[in-house]
Structures are given as C-alpha cells and as structure tokens.
Amino acid sequence: MVRDYSVFLPGGTPARREPTALERLGWGSAFASQIDADALTARPPVRVVAVHRSGLQVAGDGIEECIPPGPEATVGDWLLLDRARPRSSHVLERKSLIKRRAPGTGREVQLIAANIDTVFVVTSCNADFNVARLERYVAHAFEAGIEPVIVLTKADLTEDTAPYVDAAQAVSDRVPVLALDARGAEPAKALADWCKPGRTVAFLGSSGVGKSTLTNALLGTQEIATQGIREDDARGRHTTTRRELHATPVAASSSTRRACANCS
C-alpha cells in the first residue's frame, strides 16, 4: 500500500483532527519543511527511539524495526529511511541537540539526544543538591537550544523545600523550578504543561536523583529499573545504562501519545 504523506507537509494539516502516528512521535513543521511529498513516499520518515551496538531502533507510521549502523544519528533523530540501503538513510536537520565530549583523550563528540523540546534538569532535596551542577546542566540546555526546567525531587523527604527552591531559582530567572515527589501521580500533573502531545522531553541529572522514577511516573508503569541511594552521601547507583525514547499515554481515554526521553 502506498501511504499518503501529504498531511505531514506544511499546509497539509487539517484543523481539528486526531494526531497522526508521526505527530505522536514528535513530527512537525521543522522537519516537514525539509522535504517534499515525493521524498516522503519513497523514503518514509522514522524516528530513532533507541541506539544499540547492533544498530538503530526506529519507529514511524506502521514501521518498527532495527536498521544497521551507518547514519550518524542519536536518540530522537528523524531519518528518511532508505529501504534498499538503510545505512544510507538521511538524517534530517535537527532543531536541538544534546552532546558532550566522548570518553578518552581525543576530541570526539558523543551525541546524546536530538530534537528535544524541554529538558528537565533533575536534582534532589538532600545532600546531593549542587547549584554548580544545576548551572552546568542549564547552560548545556540553553546551548543546545532546549527549554530547561529544574525539577527538585524527594520533596516529601524534607520538612522545608523553600531553601532548595530559592537556590535553584537563583540559577536563572528564565528557568521554572518545581519541587515534587517523583512517585505516583504528582509528576504527570506538575509536568503536564511541558508534556503535551507530540512534544519530546528529556531528564538530565546525576545518578539517584529520580530520573528513572519520573519517567516511570509519566509512563504509568515500572518499565525502567530504579535503585535506592547510598545513605552516607545521598548519591545514587548508576542504573540507567542506555538512552531510549518512550511514548507515554496522555490520558486513559485517549490514544494520543507523547514522547519522553531519559538521558543519563
């Protein structure tokens, strides 16, 4: 069957309709403006949802597969999938990119996540709280062209969150600060303004601050493993060992989904 991709192009979106499968993955005008209808039909757009040593896991409209290594892509990237030569699949221009220097003594750059709309900079209301670390993460977000939001977890374990909130807010008056319990229903309500359908968010922070717990709260499952922190210094044990894009339900009565990335 030949799919009609015209709806994904600028001007092809009718008013008041259900989001398409691609839009649920984060497709929008920033990507549609880079291609035409003929290109979409010949090379369907897919998004990288996970990176493995064996290749890239991609998802699209009726597509869910793993392609071999080749495209220089990271989690969140959009590709035009070349069925005949998947290694030659074209990476669309990104609207944002989180990167860092690769481990080792060289100058190689490691791509972390692409096309993120909002990054939740996560720290906790305990001995792990560090303003200098928050400043670095916020600076990285601004440099990457991403909207940062500071999220203070473990609010339920302290008698007064005000000192933590005030210190975090002093990092930048352009960055919202929220204090919450990362478990249960609170995160979905507190973060709803940034987690609308089709938007992609990422969690950045040190081990043990609650990134995986927050992601599980948005997913409504316990899909991602979590561990407790060390009692002596409140530091976490590194649990999340890969970067993936997860689709989260907006509401039980809706089939619309939004994307959520957990980036360690």
Kindly report, residue by residue over 203-216, the tens digit of the pLDDT. Answer: 999 888 888 889 88
| pLDDT attached to residue 62 | 93
* 153 vs 212: which has the higher pLDDT: 153
The owner of tokens 């497709």 is 27
- Percent of the chain past pLDDT 90, that is, above it, reads 55
Average pLDDT over residues 78-95: 95
DSSP for 212-247 reads HHHHHHHHTS--S---PBPTTT-PBP----S-EEEE
Which domains does the chain carry? 6-91 (2.30.30), 112-262 (3.40.50)
Question: 87, 93 in Cβ contact below 8 A?
Answer: no
Confidence label for 246 from pLDDT (cuts 50, 70 and 90): confident
pTM over cut 0.85? no
Q: Is the pLDDT of residue 165 over 50?
A: yes
pLDDT at 206: 87
Alpha-carbon separation of residue 102 from 99, 106, 122 (angstroms) = 9, 8, 22
Instruction: For residue 59, give both structure tokens.
Output: 């998802």
Confidence of residue 18 (pLDDT cuts 50, 70, 90): confident
156 pLDDT more than 80:
yes
For residue 5, which of 19, 22, 18 has the smallest C-alpha distance? 22
> Which amino acid would we find at residue 132?
A
Q: How far is CA 219 from the centre of its chain?
A: 13
Q: Find the range with the poorest average confidence among 23-27, 31-35, 101-105, 234-238.
A: 234-238
**In angstroms, rounded to a whole number, what is the distance separating the alpha carbons of residues 32 and 48?**
16
Predicted confidence band at 171 (pLDDT cuts at 50, 70, 90)? very high
Specify the DSSP element, H or E, that contains 45: strand 45-52
- The reported pLDDT for the residue numbered 229 is 45
Q: Could you identify the residue written with the tokens 């009565």? A: 253
Give the pLDDT confidence score for residue 4 in this predicted structure: 53
Write down the H helix ranges in 49-101. Answer: none
Express each pLDDT in 97-138 by its tens digit. 998 877 766 778 889 999 999 999 999 999 989 999 999 999
Ranking 14-23, 91-100, 106-115, 254-263 by mean pLDDT, the lowest is 254-263
Of the pLDDT bands very low, low, confident and very high (cuts 50, 70, 90), residue 1 is very low
Please give the torsion angle defined by the CA atoms of residues 242, 142, 175 and 165, in that order, rounded to the nearest 10 degrees: 60
Count CB-CB contacts under 10 A for residue 231.
7
Question: Average pLDDT, whole number, for the chain?
Answer: 82
Give residue 239's pLDDT band: very low, low, confident or very high (50, 70, 90).
very low
In the chain, what is the straight-line distance between the N-terminal and C-terminal CA atoms, in Å? 40
- Of the listed ranges 139-143, 174-178, 243-247, the least confidently predicted one is 243-247
- Over residues 12-41, mean pLDDT: 82
By C-alpha distance, which of 155, 157, 156, 147 is closest to 165? Answer: 155
